């Protein structure tokens, strides 16, 4: 996938570290920086949820330096950070259900690991760190659209960890004058998203189920809604946040499209694209899931000049094409 240019600065002498760079979002960020010829790109990933094949071509061509390591080890973080100008922190254990099943590991990776990266970046004199926050932080707040300053009570261990990231980042900004930016992602989807395992995201899961002739399963009544966000929009937000001159303290921003799609509408859109007559089956709602999600993106638009370029329907078509090619469907 190629990207439009989201920066104006010369990055040919800048050095970047992407934690979780072998994962879905991280590898797309790597691809952007390779495309626009960053001076140095380092990826730190333990490959627990990422895949080396996502960045293998870049490693083979010498465009990316890969470090297999875990952010839970502070020494690894400090070594990876040496000489780095900018950090994109994507490494985390995602999935609300996973966090409910294993809150200890989720906490270790998402809180202790985050703090290691934050401290190492501060100590290394990194110019800017942008990290993956989450829309799960809004918790049980019924307010729509979601605005950054209005959050509720978290509904899962995962949501707790992502909110704690924001609290730590804010403390580092006020205490150490290390000003990072958190991006609250809203249900990101697109090429390179993992469909394997019990915690696969809903869009690649539904697409592959329907491509394989399997009945898609919706948890709940199908009215649960999300602000599905194509991955190139997330890349745009990260690059603009990383290189902005407008931010002089810790900030968090919604990254989404300000579009609301229910799960039933999602399945219908996929079956229509594929010419399938499969109908979903409905099962009980999952614990910890937010019922409705829709982002107010005005803060990111005003301060970062973020503007989503690919909206849900077009992003879904591109994602369907990717998975058709991946599994050899036609």
What's the burial of 12, exposed, middle or buried (CB within 10 Å: 0-12/13-18/19+)? exposed
Catalytic positions, please? 158
Buried-exposed string 161-175: b where 16+ CB fall within 10 A, e elsewhere: bbbbbbebbbebbee
Q: What is the rounded distance in angstroms from the CA atom of residue 106 to the CA atom of residue 318? A: 31
Helix (H, G, I), strand (E, B) or coil at 88: strand
Closest CA to 21 of 77, 89, 81: 89
- Return the number of other C-beta atoms located less than 10 Å from residue 2's C-beta: 7
Q: Are strands 261-262 and 225-226 parallel, antiparallel or unpaired?
A: antiparallel
Token pair for 303: 């301060």
Closest CA to 3 of 322, 302, 236: 236
Q: Residues with Cβ < 8 Å from 151, sequence gap 6 or more?
A: 137, 138, 139, 141, 163
Measured in whole angstroms, how far is the alpha carbon of residue 37 from the centre of its chain?
22
In what helix (H) or strand (E) does residue 217 lie, and over which residues does it extend?
Answer: strand 217-219
Classify residue 34 as left (phi > 0), alpha (psi -120 to 50) or beta.
Answer: alpha
């Amino acid at each position: 996938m190629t990207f439009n240019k989201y920066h104006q600065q010369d990055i040919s002498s800048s050095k970047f570290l992407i934690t979780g760079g072998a994962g879905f979002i991280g590898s797309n960020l790597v691809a952007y920086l390779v495309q626009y010829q960053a001076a140095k790109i380092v990826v730190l990933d333990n490959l627990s949820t990422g895949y080396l094949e996502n960045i293998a071509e870049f490693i083979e061509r010498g465009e990316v330096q890969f470090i297999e390591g875990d952010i839970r080890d502070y020494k690894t973080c400090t070594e990876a950070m040496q000489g780095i100008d900018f950090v994109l922190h994507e490494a985390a254990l995602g999935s609300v259900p996973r966090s409910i099943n294993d809150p200890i590991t989720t906490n270790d990776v998402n809180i202790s690991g985050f703090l290691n990266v934050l401290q190492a970046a501060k100590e290394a004199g990194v110019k800017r760190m942008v990290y993956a926050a989450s829309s799960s932080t809004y918790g049980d707040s019924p307010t729509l659209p979601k605005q950054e300053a209005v959050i509720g009570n978290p509904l899962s261990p995962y949501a707790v960890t992502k909110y704690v990231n924001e609290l730590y980042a804010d403390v580092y900004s006020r205490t150490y004058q290390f000003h990072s930016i958190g991006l609250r992602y809203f249900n990101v989807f697109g090429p390179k998203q993992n469909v394997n395992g019990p915690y696969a995201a809903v869009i690649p899961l539904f697409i592959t189920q329907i491509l394989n002739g399997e009945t898609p399963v919706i948890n709940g009544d199908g009215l649960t809604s999300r602000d599905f966000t194509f991955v190139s929009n997330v890349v745009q937000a990260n690059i603009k946040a990383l290189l902005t001159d407008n931010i002089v303290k810790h900030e968090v921003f919604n990254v989404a499209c300000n579009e609301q799609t229910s799960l039933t509408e999602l399945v219908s859109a996929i079956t229509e694209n594929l010419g399938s007559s499969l109908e979903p089956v409905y099962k009980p709602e999952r614990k910890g899931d937010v019922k409705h999600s829709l982002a107010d993106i005005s803060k990111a638009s005003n301060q970062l000049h973020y503007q989503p370029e690919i909206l849900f329907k077009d992003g879904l078509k591109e994602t369907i094409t990717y998975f058709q090619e991946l599994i050899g469907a036609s």
